[in-house]
């Protein structure tokens, strides 16, 4: 354990699992700690504190968290091990029993991490601090840069939807957000330090603004009005909250990119009902065709869950043919796993595990087909590309406005710059199209 009030030059390692929201939050926690004198270091190097921000979206996520905690403890046996995030909020006792864990901080406590570390007591090394999730009301926008070029801005947290398979409302609490001007202020901070692309993230971002009497559309318009050399992407948004008004606005915007990520989850109305989703497949199909009618080259990524209770062979086949008929670019396929406390457990006819795996394989193959078709349709077209920092062999990659990954020979001077490029042949090594820049 570290001494009270002596944070100056103490070394901290951060490890984040899960979604972009977690990365944005680790960044906010990190800023608090670095402002108080901590110095960031890397796993395997000398450290006084390890902070692990966890995910609990599936059983596999829980297992990965346990493995990450154990690995960090082996690397840093004397460091104070702080575990926070969704796994810590949902199963604090289980987390506290993992060897090496000193502090377990829930969703409400994670942003006061310094106070908890300051009072960490060597005589009582396993301490859990969590607040009942329905009591959590606070919200702070936060922003993090990924290991490439993009920034992830947390604009919203929590969810009130309670889909029958999902534990997120129990881990993150009620839907909440700041107001438009506070959110824009956070984005301006990122732009000030060089952000050229900012992704708006949250648990249910379309629900933004309920407390302030504003809407997600208000937020999108405010981002569009920012006068700077920057572009924005909307991350996953529920189909019922992706209004036609938003789609029409994005279609004419120069700053909001023609790139959509929409969770479908199931392609039959029967399973959507079992999941307690708030739309039917006809609404989803309408959103996809609305986007494509206004932005024929827009990238559309779609989440699907396979193998929930009650998804019969026939319903799965129907779902596949519905998805096959959608003009979308890629699927993100998730295999259902039972989660304690969810309503799905009360439903009959669980899908056998081997069948879940088979269905996942079928949809992955469908995703590959969609993806290839989309990429082929983009060859020969010209777009602005934002080049990223990573060097892969002698190449660098970037993304077009409509989220096509492209590559070119590495050139350090191009990192985080926008350039017009014509998309050429397929580069299998980089899983990207070769881009020829146009001067």
Q: Binding residues for ligand SF4, per CB under 6 A?
A: 159, 161-163, 166, 168-169, 203-204, 238
Calculate ∠ Cα 206-140-253, nearest 5°: 40
Q: Which of 115, 66, 87 is nearest to 22 (CA)?
A: 87
Residue 347 to residue 360: CA distance in whole angstroms: 21
Closer residue to ligand SF4 (CB): 168 or 433: 168
Closer residue to ligand SF4 (CB): 158 or 398: 158
Closest approach, Cβ 305 to ligand SF4, in A, equals 9
Within 13 Å, how many C-alpha atoms sit on residue 339's CB side?
27
Closest approach, Cβ 203 to ligand SF4, in A, equals 5
Closer residue to ligand SF4 (CB): 90 or 421: 90
Closer residue to ligand SF4 (CB): 205 or 220: 205
Three-state DSSP state, 271: helix
Closest approach, Cβ 423 to ligand SF4, in A, equals 33
Closer residue to ligand SF4 (CB): 21 or 190: 21
DSSP codes joined into one string, 30-82: HHHHHHTT-EE--TTS--SEEEEEE--SSHHHHHHHHHHHHHHHHH-TTSEEE
Closest approach, Cβ 281 to ligand SF4, in A, equals 16
Closer residue to ligand SF4 (CB): 95 or 308: 308
Calculate ∠ Cα 270-274-275, nearest 5°: 115
Residue 28 to residue 110: CA distance in whole angstroms: 10
Closer residue to ligand SF4 (CB): 54 or 400: 54
Instruction: For residue 293, give every residue at least 6 positions away whose Cβ sits within 8 Å of its Cβ, in sequence order, or none.
Output: none
CA distances from 437 to 412, 414, 424 (A): 15, 11, 10
Closest approach, Cβ 206 to ligand SF4, in A, equals 9
Q: Looking at 80-150, list the stretches that DSSP marks H as alpha helix, in order from N- to C-terminal side.
A: 86-90, 92-96, 113-118
Pairing of strands 418-427, 382-387: antiparallel
Within 13 Å, how many C-alpha atoms sit on residue 93's CB side?
0
Is the Cβ–Cβ distance between 291 and 253 less than 8 Å? Answer: no
Closest approach, Cβ 255 to ligand SF4, in A, equals 26
Closer residue to ligand SF4 (CB): 265 or 400: 265
Which token pair is 37?
Answer: 């004198």
Closest approach, Cβ 383 to ligand SF4, in A, equals 31
Closest approach, Cβ 196 to ligand SF4, in A, equals 29
User: C-alpha 373: how far from its chain's center?
Assistant: 25
The region, left, alpha or beta by phi > 0 then psi within -120 to 50, assigned to residue 394 is: alpha
* Residue 422, phi then psi, degrees to nearest 5: -100, 135
Closer residue to ligand SF4 (CB): 33 or 163: 163
Q: Buried b / exposed e across 1-11, counting CB within 10 Å, b at 16+?
A: bbeeeebeebb
Closest approach, Cβ 168 to ligand SF4, in A, equals 4
Closest approach, Cβ 138 to ligand SF4, in A, equals 19
Closer residue to ligand SF4 (CB): 109 or 238: 238
């Amino acid at each position: 354990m570290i001494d009270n009030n002596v944070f100056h030059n103490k070394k901290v390692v951060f490890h984040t699992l899960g979604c972009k929201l977690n990365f944005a939050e680790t960044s906010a926690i990190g800023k608090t700690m670095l402002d108080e004198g901590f110095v960031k270091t890397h796993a395997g190097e000398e450290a006084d504190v390890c902070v692990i921000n966890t995910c609990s979206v599936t059983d596999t996520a829980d297992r990965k968290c346990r493995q990450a905690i154990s690995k960090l403890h082996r690397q840093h046996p004397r460091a104070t091990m702080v575990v926070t995030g969704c796994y810590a909020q949902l199963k604090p006792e289980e987390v506290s029993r993992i060897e090496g864990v000193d502090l377990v901080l829930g969703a409400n406590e994670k942003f006061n991490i310094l106070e908890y570390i300051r009072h960490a007591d060597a005589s009582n090394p396993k301490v859990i601090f969590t607040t009942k999730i329905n009591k959590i009301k606070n919200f702070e926008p936060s922003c993090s840069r990924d290991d490439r070029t993009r920034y992830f801005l947390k604009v919203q947290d929590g969810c009130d939807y309670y889909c029958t398979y999902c534990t997120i409302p129990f881990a993150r609490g009620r839907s909440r957000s700041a107001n438009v001007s506070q959110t824009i202020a956070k984005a301006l901070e990122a732009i000030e330090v060089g952000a050229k692309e900012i992704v708006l993230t949250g648990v249910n971002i379309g629900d933004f603004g309920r407390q302030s009497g504003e809407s997600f559309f208000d937020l999108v318009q405010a981002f569009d009005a920012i006068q700077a050399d920057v572009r924005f992407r909307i991350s996953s948004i529920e189909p019922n909250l992706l209004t036609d008004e938003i789609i029409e606005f994005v279609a004419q915007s120069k700053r909001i990119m023609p790139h959509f990520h929409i969770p479908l989850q199931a392609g039959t109305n029967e399973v959507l009902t079992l999941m307690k989703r708030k739309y039917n497949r006809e609404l989803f199909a309408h959103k996809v065709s609305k986007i494509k009618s206004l932005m024929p080259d827009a990238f559309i990524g779609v989440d699907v869950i396979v193998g929930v209770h009650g998804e019969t062979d026939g319903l799965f086949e129907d779902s596949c043919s519905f998805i096959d008929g959608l003009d979308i670019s890629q699927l993100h396929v998730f295999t259902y796993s039972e989660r304690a406390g969810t309503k799905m457990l009360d439903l009959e006819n669980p899908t056998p595990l081997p069948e879940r795996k088979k269905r996942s394989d079928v949809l992955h193959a469908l995703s590959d087909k969609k993806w290839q078709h989309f990429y082929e349709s983009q060859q020969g077209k010209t777009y602005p590309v934002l080049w990223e920092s990573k060097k892969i062999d002698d190449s660098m990659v970037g993304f077009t406005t409509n989220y096509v990954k492209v590559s070119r020979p590495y050139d350090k001077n191009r990192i985080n710059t926008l350039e017009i490029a014509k998309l050429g042949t397929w580069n299998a090594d980089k899983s990207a199209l070769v881009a020829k820049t146009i001067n």
